[in-house]
Chains A and B, each alone.
Chain A
Amino acid sequence: MSAVDIDRFERIVLVHLDSAYTLARYLLHDEHDAQDVVQDAALRAMRHFDGFRGGDARAWLLTIVRNCCYSLRRKQRGQPRTVGLDEADAVATADTDSADAEVLRRTEQALVQRAVASLPAEFREVIVLREIEAMSYAEIATVTGVPVGTVMSRLSRARNRLATLLAPAAREAS
């Protein structure tokens, strides 16, 4: 790959690295696995960059990242499972400033994060792509490889489940 191509690749594809890493974190629940998968996906994307003729680079990269996540999961399924990170720990805990509002905000964040983490992967990914990435149904369909109608129904069911999980009654019970 020439210097010019690398430059193009960085401008067009690598600018979406945060999105790629975010999707991998939500799908894998593990910081190190997510880093490995995103690196692998970025290198695959680079190898196939010749075949990329414009279009939606973010959707293209995320499709590769998603496939890498699923194949890592399949591989791991045969192996003894390492204990995943508790998502509550993964919630950013930056400073020690514990003003009440901040504590509340973090509790809310941990609660929502845990609810999303408990969803099956096919629901979790549509929530991430829609609510964090603000992708259209057509883009989500590209990334997840299912028809738009399926995206629509998965998203609706995922939101229903979240509503139940996040309802005040469920909060008290947990």
Chain B
Amino acid sequence: MTCAIATERLDAYRDRELEDDEAEQLRRHVDQCAECASRLAELARQSTRLRDALVRYSAPDTLRARIRSALGPADAAPPVRPAVPRRQAEWMRLAAAVLVTAIVSGGGAYLAARQELTARSTTDAVVSAHVRSLMPGHLTDVASTEHHSVKPWFNGRVDLSPGVPDLAASGFPLVGGRLDYIGGRPVAAVVYARRQHLINVFSWPDGSGRLTPTVTRTERGYHIIRWSAAGVETWAVSDLNPAELRQFTAAFAAGR
């Protein structure tokens, strides 16, 4: 193989895009030709440099919210008119499904379906509250990175004192707090950040006294982790990847 041909193919060789026999020919040439070997090394250096320096952007939360609200049964876009009938239709479909299930499989299945409905509707409400909070001006009522000023702000506004641990050292700075409204009552929402991602932590008193295991689910692309302990039910929602969100909830639960 001549240097001229080799030079043409060095990129493809380095990218492992040559056929086996061609790659083998090139490898033999590079072994003998110092000039091509140094070109190859230079290509590798440049590629590493590009990969290290080029910015990989994250789609902003507002863009995700815009797309999700355009997709369908979402709730995100505030008063868009078709939302109401669509929601009703959705509800009717669910109700019909429950009815059919109840008739077919009897009472146990009906109860299970009802519980599933309740869980679904809370999940729905929590995700909707998260999406709404991402709209301009909706994120916080009290904006502060100081947990000492966020925690007392909830006094007299909700019927519990929510956990507001300082997680800046774990890479989750506090953004602030706000009142939200879920399941027919005001709840505490505490907001943390991770890079460009926001995490909403909703909490309210859990009267059942049960210690429920942590549940993870994904809804409309958002990840949700829910747990209940010490009489408080807590839901964390974010577009952050599930691994980092789990890391967050572990730190949060340990820090309260």
Q: How many residues of A contact B (CB 8 A)?
A: 44
With both chains docked as a complex, state the minimum distance between the C-beta of B80 and any C-beta of chain A, in angstroms. 15
Which residues of the other chain, A, contact B35 by a CB distance below 8 angstroms?
none
Inter-chain CA distance A25–B54, complex, in Å, is: 12
B59 & A108 in contact (Cβ 8 Å cutoff): no
State whether B71 touches A109 (Cβ < 8 A).
no
Contact of B50 with A25 in the complex, beta carbons under 8 Å: no
**Is A112 touching B50 in the complex (CB atoms < 8 A)?**
yes
Residue total for B at the interface (Cβ-Cβ under 8 A): 34
B159 in contact (CB, < 8 A): no
| Interface status of B185 (Cβ within 8 A of chain A) | no
Report the number of A-B residue pairs with Cβ-Cβ less than 8 Å: 104
Which residues of chain A come closer than 8 Å to B72, judged between CB atoms? Answer: 1, 3, 6
Return chain A residues, CB-CB under 8 Å to B221. 10, 14-15
With both beta carbons as reference points, the residue of chain B lying nearest to A17 in the complex is identified as: B59
Q: Which of B47, B57, B58, B66 contacts A131 (CB 8 A)?
A: B47
Q: In the bound complex, do residue A131 and residue B11 qualify as a contact, i.e. CB atoms below 8 Å apart? A: no
Q: Collect the chain B residues with CB atoms within 8 Å of residue A17's CB.
A: 59, 63-64, 67
Per-position binary interface string of chain B over residues 54-75, scored 1 when its CB falls under 8 Å from any chain A CB and 0 otherwise = 1111111011101100111100
CB of A113 closer than 8 Å to a CB of B: yes
Closest to A7 in B: B220
**B112 lies within 8 A of chain A by Cβ:** no
Q: What does DSSP make chain A's interface, helix, strand, loop or mixed?
A: helix
Residues of the A chain whose Cβ atoms lie less than 8 Å from the Cβ of B215: none
Closest beta carbon of chain A to B45's beta carbon, Å: 10
CA distance A109 to B17 in the complex (A): 28
A120-138: contact bitstring with B at CB < 8 Å (1 yes, 0 no)?
0000000110111000110
CB closest chain-A residue, reference B220: A10
Question: Which B residues between 71 and 97 are near A, CB-CB below 8 angstroms?
Answer: 71-73, 90
C-alpha spacing A162/B56, complex, angstroms: 18
Bound-state CA distance A45–B43 (Å) is 36
Q: Are B55's CB and A108's CB within 8 A?
A: no
Q: Per-residue 0/1 for B171-182: is the Cβ within 8 Å of any A Cβ (1 yes, 0 no)?
A: 000000000000
Q: Do A159 and B46 have beta carbons less than 8 Å apart?
A: yes
CA distance A162 to B71 in the complex (A): 40
Q: Is the CB of A131 within 8 A of B51?
A: yes
Whether B15 pairs with A131 at a CB distance below 8 angstroms is no
Chain A contacts for B55, CB-based, 8 A: 22, 25, 90-92, 109, 113
Q: Contacts A9-B71, A152-B12 given: A163-B46 contact, CB under 8 Å?
A: yes
**B53 proximal to A (CB < 8 A):** yes
Report chain A residues within 8 Å CB of B15. Answer: 130, 137, 155
A6-B72, A18-B58, A39-B66 as given contacts; A137 in contact with B17, CB under 8 Å: yes
Please list the residues of chain B having a beta carbon within 8 angstroms of any beta carbon in chain A. Answer: 8, 10-12, 15, 17, 42-43, 46-47, 49-51, 53-60, 62-64, 66-67, 70-73, 90, 218, 220-221
